[in-house]
Structure 1
Amino acid sequence: MRGLFIVIEGCDRSGKSTQCERLLQRFRDQGRDAQLIKFPDRTIQSGQLIDGYLKQSRHLHDKAIHLFFSANRWEAMDAIAAKLKAGTTLVVDRYAFSGVAFSAAKGLDLEWCKNPDKGLLIPDKVLFLDLPIEKAEQRGGFGEERYETRELQTKVRDIFMQLKEDSWKIIDADQTMEAVQEEMWNTVKELKPDSEEPRTGLWEQ
């Protein structure tokens, strides 16, 4: 059986990275082969440029940085498909939904933003960690990176809600870390792939 492709999304400071690590460990404790993938991957060439942009040490046109984010995801697709076929479950910290939500929140056309990512692998489940902006602002580190402003984060959440599909599970991130993790785990622990091969064709239907 192929591995599951599980994406964790949410606005900044919603606890995604911590919850991804915890979810990964839950799968491993169950004896399943599982790996964590983060987007953007800041270790490859496109990711290094993105890293400089996010840390505000580099300026790029909004359309250019959007395409770099998309290229960063496409660069990983063959490796992701191979891992899934080999039976590895993947917990993915951010995906194309983030790329589109952040770029569209800056004023780019929503359909234009989706186009570069059309055809990507389709997640089996998207877990969206929903946290009110006033709560996010109270968490350590808010405002350190380019996109962490109240106005932009509010727009980002609105666009995430436009992108939401039936495969999404909205999780209240304003709970204890343990309660959030339990809700995430209960959503995916018995999930089975609905196809033998990884599904392609994101946003092409």
Structure 2
Amino acid sequence: MRGKLIVFEGLDRAGKSTQCERLVESLRNEGHQVRHLKFPDRSTPIGQMINNYLKGQSEQEDHVIHLLFSANRWEAVPSIQADIETGITVIIDRYYYSGCVYSAAKNNPTLDLNWARHPEEGLPRPDICIFLDISPADAAKRGGFGGEKYENQQMQDHVRQLFGQLRSSSEKDDFAKIDAGGSLDEVQRDVLQVAMKAIERVDAENLPLGFVQPW
């Protein structure tokens, strides 16, 4: 059986990183081989350029930084595909969904959601995207935003709206929305249930790894 591609998405403070780590541990305990990735990958030269931008140490034109984020994902594709082909499940904290909505949320009239998605066409398509949904009130209870460029309330509100548009698009079957406002254990239970259902579906139907298609 091939490995699976599982992606976590959601707003800041929804608990993505924590639930990613918990799912990795759960699947490993069940005997799965698992690799855990996070985008942007700041360890590469492209990732360092993104890191400097997010920390406010450099500026980039909106289209340029979007393409850098996309290139950061593309440079990981060979290793992702190789892992999946050899039976390793890849779990990713943020993927092209975030790349699209955060760029489109800047309100640049020449960089809408449709434009942002084009560079992602052909990327490995997740077997399941687990979207951790958290209300603004619950998010506020978890503390303030960090100091990076996109971590502010106005941006997050727009991102929430754009995630809704993306989920209602042609890719809605790839999404499983989970209420992230519960306890860590409650959310973990729901995440594991969704992930195992996707794994079982891929194995039962012997589904090949898909790729992001044009809208």
Give the structure-1-normalised TM-score: 0.95
Contact between 1:136 and 1:142, CA under 8 Å: does it hold in 2?
no
Q: Which residue of 1 aligns with 2:137?
A: 134
Cα displacement string for residues 133-172 of structure 1 (whole angstroms, at most 9, x for unaligned residues): 2332332451321111111101101111111111211111
Partner of 2:20: 20
Could you tell me how far apart the structure 2 residues matched to 1:68 and 1:54 are? 12
Cα separation, 2, equivalents of 1:143 and 1:40: 16
Q: How many residues align?
A: 204
Which of 153, 164, 174 does residue 167 from structure 1 map onto?
Answer: 174
Residue 13 of structure 1 deviates from its aligned partner by 1.3
Specify which of 185, 188, 197 is matched with residue 181 of structure 1: 188
Q: Does 1:92 align with 2:92?
A: yes
> What amino acid is the match of 2:64?
A
Determine what percentage of the aligned residue pairs are the same residue: 44
Deviation at 1:56, TM superposition (A): 1.4
CA–CA separation in structure 1 for the residues paired with 2:147 and 2:190: 29
Distance across 2 between alignment mates of 1:59 and 1:106: 14
Match of 2:209 in 1: 198
* Counterpart Cα distance in 2 of 1:12 and 1:171: 15
**How far 1:39 sits from its partner (Å)?**
0.7
The alignment's TM-score, normalised by the length of structure 2, stands at 0.90
Q: Structure 1: any 5+ residue segments left out of the alignment?
A: none
Q: Give the alignment's Cα RMSD to 1 decimal.
A: 1.4
Cα distance between partner residues in 2 of 1:135 and 1:64? 34
1:9-49 Cα deviation digits (max 9, x unpaired): 00111110011000000000001101101111000011011
1:195 Cα deviation (Å)? 4.5
Rounded Cα–Cα distance in structure 2 between residues aligned with 1:86 and 1:141:
41
Q: Which residue in 1 is equivalent to 2:43?
A: 43
For 2:181 and 2:154, how far apart are their aligned partners in 1?
20
* Residues 37 and 93 in structure 1, CA contact (< 8 A), matched pair in contact too: yes
Letter in 2 for 1:119: G
Aligned to 1:119: 122
Unpaired runs of at least 5, structure 2: none
Runs of 4 or more off by more than 4 Å in structure 1? none
